[in-house]
Amino acid sequence: MKKFLFILSALCIVSCKSKNGTFQDQKDSSINDLSIKESQVRTSLEYLASDELEGRNTGTLGIEKAAIFIEKVFQENNVKPYFETYRDSFNLKDIVGYNVVGYIEGNDSILKNEFVILGAHYDHIGTAKEVNGDIIANGANDDASGTVAVLEWAKYFSKTKSNKRSILFTLFSAEEMGLKGSGHLAKRLKKEGINLYTMINFEMIGVPRNENEIMAYISGYEKSNITEKLNTYAHSEIIGFFPKAKEFNLFMRSDNYPFYEAFKVPAHAISTFDFTNFDYYHHVDDEADKMDFKHMTNFITKMIPPIEGMVNSASQEIKMNHD
């Protein structure tokens, strides 16, 4: 009888703890830890686009603060530096610039020797034409939004360790000076013999497109089969063709291009800014309060399956198109 009462008591404890959330919450907490949280997206972007960072012009104290913030995110999430430190430094006359590069090694003994790069530029132009006494060009959409996306994916893969290929999370400076940061890093990685599979740059993803438009578009659409493959991995059509991307030559105007030039592999930019949905390009009103954080969180979340498909496919399914 005593033995029966003991077992009954133990079952009651387990049941009660499950009901009051002790065990179940631990399980739910583990699941929820993998979700992209709108509050974290907002907090990160509001800091990067704050007046304190003074528009993040390369070579300034403002961009130094941004770099320290990015490094802290990497450190706190056990994302390792790819080089001796997180910084890939370069000189532009009397200015020292630096890309910030995090690294998560692949978990497959063979595929880890292949690399996928996820990138965005964290610099901006510093100041712009004064409006109501404001001269700081905060660069919330351009490209604090892309920077936050890359940081969220770094946090995600640091928790899941679900990547067979190795991933570099690259935040570029001096993009606004003519792709100088990405140009430097592409040449350095090429010289070091990195086996680059694909590169995707994320540019201005802070505002949604019209409801009748596909969520995002890719530059250099015709150059590879990447759009088809990413949508296949996503099990839905989230990325598409945008005629103005070719008309405005966007493929050559973002940080993907130096990697295409150096490696001749699929290297593209993805954006949700389509020249109709945001009026503040290089403007002092490109501020955090203009961003749609629900959209950003949704975009970052929906891009996870395509990225996982890209870093885990058994073979290199994404290929250049050849005429």
Give pLDDT tens digits along the chain (323 positions): 444 333 334 434 334 333 333 333 333 334 457 899 999 999 999 999 999 999 999 999 999 999 999 999 999 999 999 999 999 999 999 999 999 999 999 999 999 999 999 999 999 999 999 999 999 999 999 999 999 999 999 999 999 999 999 999 999 999 999 999 999 999 999 999 999 999 999 999 999 999 999 999 999 999 999 999 999 999 999 999 999 998 999 999 999 999 999 999 999 999 999 999 999 999 999 999 999 999 999 999 999 999 999 999 999 999 999 85
Of 3.40.630.10, 3.40.50.2000, 1.10.2020.10, 3.40.228.10, the CATH number of 51-312 is: 3.40.630.10
Print burial letters for 144-181: b (CB count within 10 Å at least 16), e (below 16): bbbbbbbbbbbbbbbeeeebbbbbbbbbbbbbbbebbb
Q: What is the DSSP string of 137-167?
A: E--IIIIIHHHHHHHHHHHHHHHH---SSEE
Distances (CA, A) of 187 to 101, 104, 181, 195, 288: 14, 21, 10, 13, 33
What residue segments make up the domains of the chain, in order of their start?
A: 51-312
Question: 227: helix, coil or strand?
Answer: helix
CB-based burial label for 88 (10 Å; 0-12, 13-18, 19+): buried
Q: Are residues 61 and 320 in contact, defined by beta-carbon separation less than 8 angstroms?
A: no
In sign, the C-alpha dihedral spanning 297, 299, 301, 303 is negative
Number of DSSP helices (H) and strands (E) in the chain, helices first? 11, 11
Instruction: For residue 26, list its beta bridge partners.
Output: none
